[in-house]
Amino acid sequence: MPGPIMPGMTTDDIRALFEVQYQASRAQPDVPLLLRRERLLRMRKLIDERGPELAAAVQADFGMRSLRLTEVADFFVLRALLSHTLSHLARWSRPQKVRTPLHLQPARAWIQRQPLGVVGVIAPWNYPIQLALAPAITALAAGNRVMVKPSELTPHLSAKLAEVVGQFFAPDELCVVQGDASVAALVASLPFDHLVFTGSTAVGRKVAQAAAANLTPTTLELGGKSPCIIDANCNLQEAALKIAHGKLLNAGQTCIAPDYVLLPQGSEAAFTEAYRAAVARLFPQIEGNPDYASIISARHLARLRTMLQQAQTQGAEVVSVQPAPVAPAPNHQASLGDGISRQMAPVLVFGATSSMQLMQEEIFGPVLPVITYERLDDAITHINANPRPLALYWFGNDARVRDDVLARTVSGGVTVNDTLMHIAHDNLPFGGVGDSGWGAYHGEQGFVRFSHQKSVLVQSPWAMGWLFYPPYGARFDRVMQALRRWL
C-alpha cells in the first residue's frame, strides 16, 4: 500500500528505489487486470482530490498561469486518457489471436501482451502534470512499475507531485524523484525496461545515448519547428484565430505549437490584422491576465528577446500584435506573484531568414515568424529542406491540395484547418519522426508501446512437422514441391 514520502533523495536512494521497482516487476511479471484497473482508478482519485493543489503548484512555478489553463491543458487531457483507457483496457489486455499459415496448421497462435517491467518517465516543465502522468497512466495500464522525474524548472509542482503520488501509490508501483539535471542524467542511465523522455532534441540525444548503454528502448517526444501552411483560398480570419490559439496557449511553450507560418505572397497585411484581432479576442489584455502564461524563467525570456534582437539587427520586421494595455486591479496584480514581468507580448516577424536563430531553433514562446511563398511547391520545399517536424498544420478548402501536402511532407502528426487538436484524439498515436523524436503513445498505441508482445505457438498433436525432419530425400522433395504450389 502507499508508502512514505521521500524528499531529498540521494543517488543511492534513487538506485535503491529503482531496485525495489525492478524486483517487484520480476516477482509479478503478470499483473492482473483488476489490479491495473484499481491503479488507474487511484490515479483518477488523485487527480480529482488533489488536482487543485497540483494546479496551484504549477501557478507558483510559472508565476502567471491560471488554474483554468492547467485544467484544460493538463487535467482535461488526463481525464480523457483515463476514461478511454479504462473503457478499452480489457480488450487491449487479452491475447491477440493471429491466423496460422497453412504449413504450420493445425497449430494455434496468439500474441500475449505482457508488462515490460519498469518504465522511466523524464518529464518537461511546460505541461508538467500532463506530461508526467499521461505516460505513467498508460504504462500502469500495461502493468508496469513507473518512476517519474519531473523538471527542475517546476520545483513546486515536483514537490507536490511527489507528495500526492506517495499518498496514493506504493513506491514499488509509482514514484516521483526530484532533483536537477544531474538527477535526470542518473535516471536516464538506469536500466529501465523502457524510458520516455519529453524535451528538446539536444537533450533527447543525450538521453538516447545514456539509455543505449543498457539497451533500454526509448520513446523520445522532442520538439522541432512545426510549420503552418495557409492556402490562398482559406478563410484568413478563421485561420488566424486558430493559429493564435495554438501559438499562444501557454504563451507558445508547447511542443506542437505552430513555430512559423507559410503565407501566400501579398497576404501579409491581411494576416497581420486578422492575427491582431484574434489575439485581442483571446487575450483582451496581456499584462496581469492569468489566462496568458508567463515565460517559465528569466533565462528563457532573455533567450526569446535575444532571438528577436538578432532578427531585427539582420533586417527582419518585428510587429507587435499586443492589444491595448489595461492596468490590472492592484490587489489582483499583487496576488499573481512576479510572473507579470515574464509575460511576453505576442509578436509577428516578417522577413526571417535561415541564418537567424529563430529559424534554426524551436522558438517555444509567443514569437511567430511569417514566411511568404509564391507557389505551394516553394512552401513544401522549405519544409522538406529542414528536419522533420513534430507537427504540421494546413489551412484550406481544396481536398486535392490538402492531400498533396500530406503526401509530400513528413511530420509526427497533422491537424487540418486547426492546430493542436490531433494530440487530443485518443485513437491517434502521438509521436515524432526524425529529429522530432521516435516512438508514439496515447491510446492503444501507447499500451502496445509499454507492453512486450510475446509470440505464442501451441503445437497440435496432429502436427506434421516431422515431414520436414532429416534425413532429406524423395519424400521431402515431394512435400516441398506441393508447398510451393500452395504458397
> What residues make up the domain containing 188?
11-222+440-452
Looking at the structure, tell me whether residues 40 and 62 fall in a common domain: yes
With respect to residue 267, please indicate whether it lies within any of the assigned structural domains. Answer: yes
Over range 319-328, report the average pLDDT. Answer: 73
Looking at the structure, tell me whether residues 198 and 238 fall in a common domain: no
pLDDT tens-place string over residues 61-72: 999 999 999 999
With respect to residue 106, please indicate whether it lies within any of the assigned structural domains. Answer: yes
pTM: 0.92
Alpha carbon distance 359, 378 (integer Å): 17
268 belongs to the catalytic site: no
Strands annotated E in 317-467: 317-320, 347-350, 367-373, 391-395, 413-416, 430-431, 437-438, 440-441, 451-458
Looking at the structure, tell me whether residues 446 and 385 fall in a common domain: no
Q: How many CB atoms lie under 10 A from the CB of residue 354?
A: 10
Alpha carbon distance 464, 486 (integer Å): 16
> Within 13 Å of residue 441, how many CA atoms lie on the same side as its CB?
27
234 belongs to the catalytic site: no
Looking at the structure, tell me whether residues 172 and 315 fall in a common domain: no
Residue of 221, 228, 362, 444 marked catalytic = 221
Residue of 175, 228, 234, 255 marked catalytic = 255
Number of domains in the chain: 2
**Residue 328: predicted pLDDT:** 53
With respect to residue 241, please indicate whether it lies within any of the assigned structural domains. Answer: yes
Over range 320-324, report the average pLDDT. Answer: 83
pLDDT tens-place string over residues 204-239: 999 999 999 999 999 999 988 999 999 999 999 999
Alpha carbon distance 42, 48 (integer Å): 10
The chain-wide mean pLDDT, for the chain, equals 93
Looking at the structure, tell me whether residues 208 and 241 fall in a common domain: no
The enclosing domain of 102 has a CATH number of: 3.40.605.10
Instruction: Write out the three cell numbers for 229.
Output: 501552411
With respect to residue 44, please indicate whether it lies within any of the assigned structural domains. Answer: yes
Banded model confidence at residue 241, pLDDT cuts 50, 70, 90: very high
**Residue 102: predicted pLDDT:** 85
Strands 96-97 and 108-115, how do they pair?
Answer: antiparallel
The enclosing domain of 296 has a CATH number of: 3.40.309.10
